[in-house]
Amino acid sequence: MDSIIVTGGGPLSGQIPIAGAKNACLTLMPATLLSDEPLTLTNAPRLSDIRTMTTLLQSLGAEVQSLQDGQVLALSSHNIHNHIADYDIVRKMRASILVLGPMLARDGHAIVSLPGGCAIGARPVDLHLKALEALGAELDLRDGYVHAKAPAGGLRGGIIDFPIASVGATENALMAATLAKGTTEIRNAAREPEIVDLAQCLRKMGAQIEGEGTHTITIQGVDRLGGATHRVVTDRIELGTYMLAPAICGGEVTLLGGRIDLLAAFCEKLDAAGINVTETPEGLTVARKNGSIRAVDVTTEPFPGFPTDLQAQMMALLCTAEGTSVLEEKIFENRFMHAPELMRMGAKIEVHGGHATVTGVKQLKGAPVMATDLRASVSLILAGLAAQGETIVNRVYHLDRGYEHVVRKLSGVGAKIERVKGQ
């Protein structure tokens, strides 16, 4: 397996372009299943998860072309001939469950394997299934597959009241409801920018949607959807990750395409920690205020709160802060698996259930470490930027799922980083 070698020391300077959002693109791609007309996505990220979703859609009969070096995806689902999403593909990525709602809404039936993905907690799909049942779907779980069937005449509008706000379940319900007969109201809907982006794309396809970005989304079902061209929203998690690079090792970096409104709660914590974030016409410019990092407490919450997908990276920063920080993880269990690897680099961290206490040290030290999931892998790279000596990050295949050209982007602003092929 490949490894990434980071040699710490020295401030960063320059610009980093931020890609389109992985989580948005993985939701927009299955939207092609709702129509027999072409859907074109621009500003697409070039990631292994995108390739996995491409493989899944192609297995169902969709046509997917990658154009302009992968930044444009041309999709067409005019000839869907298979309604079984196979385990061998779905197990690689949890977002695969998002084909269930569109297939069920358009063709009235689907069989989808229960999904896989990062090992950061159970993340059950029961909310997805209850949402579809509220639209009249008949569901049966057999042998690891969801067998779904719409009633005669198709899905019908209904009230979907989520006990907790779930991004994936909101997305599945939103897509399914666009072709359901009558009106659907999604209550306690997730408010993430990726939800807003999906609704905007669906509206271009002819859907009637109101309220995205709030806790209540209302959809008036239509008979059919058409084609559209849509630009994928900026990846706020990649944005936040690279904002932490100059924060952790000094210097000043501009993140091209960045917007504060995508990460307001995160930017507030950076300000409290002693980091300046300035919005410019080009994006966001990030630099330390006066040389030192202050400890801050962080609690992960659904949008617009602090993103769980930036918790590991924030922990890397706080490992060298002055004082003690407490990080509370309220979204996923098992999401402190990066802590023991950071401790191998000299960090002082105590984990108790959903809380991690981080006492800052003057200097991290390079060490061989192992990535346990997508966000943990990049947190170790960030820590390596601030560490003395060489850090070797192993099992970086996780990284390829969510970050394009990490080595190129960081070396472009002065980081000493290289990727080494495995034996």
Residue 16 labeled ligand binder: no
Residue 269 labeled ligand binder: no
Residue 115 labeled ligand binder: no
Place of tokens 């409801």: 177
Residue 331 labeled ligand binder: yes
Please name every residue paired with 417 in a beta bridge, in sequence order, or none if there are none. Answer: 6
Strand pairing report for 208-210 and 216-220: antiparallel
Residue 219 labeled ligand binder: no
For residues 44 and 188, what is the distance between their CA atoms, to the nearest angstrom?
29
Q: For the chain, what is the HEC assignment?
A: CCEEEEECCCCEEEEEECCECHHHHHHHHHHHHHCCCCEEEECCCCCHHHHHHHHHHHHHCCEEEEECCCCEEEEECCCCCCCEECHHHHCCCHHHHHHHHHHHHHHCEEEEECCCCCCCCCCCCHHHHHHHHHCCCEEEEECCEEEEECCCCCCECCEEECCCCCHHHHHHHHHHHCCCECEEEEECCCCCHHHHHHHHHHHHCCCEEECCCCCEEEEECCCCCCCEEEECCECHHHHHHHHHHHHHHCEEEEEECCCHHHCHHHHHHHHHHCEEEEECCCEEEEEECCCCCECCCEEECCCCCECHHHHHHHHHHHCCCECEEEEECCCCCCCCCCHHHHHCCCCEEEEECCEEEEECCCCCECCEEECCCHHHHHHHHHHHHHCECEEEEECHHHHHHCCCCHHHHHHCCCCEEEEECCC
Residue 334 labeled ligand binder: no
CA distances from 286 to 173, 250, 278, 294 (A): 37, 10, 7, 16
Q: Which residues, 6+ apart, have CB-to-CB distance to 17 below 8 Å? A: 256, 257, 409
Residue 394 labeled ligand binder: no
Q: Is 118 a catalytic residue?
A: yes
Residue 125 labeled ligand binder: yes
Residue 375 labeled ligand binder: no
Q: Which residue in 118, 249, 267, 319 is the catalytic one?
A: 118
CA distances from 215 to 24, 166, 170, 186, 330 (A): 19, 11, 10, 8, 19
Residue 309 labeled ligand binder: yes
Q: Residues at the annotated binding site?
A: 22-23, 94, 123-127, 309, 331
Output the known binding site for phosphoenolpyruvate: 22-23
What is the set of active-site residues? 118
Annotated binding site for UDP-N-acetyl-alpha-D-glucosamine: 94, 123-127, 309, 331
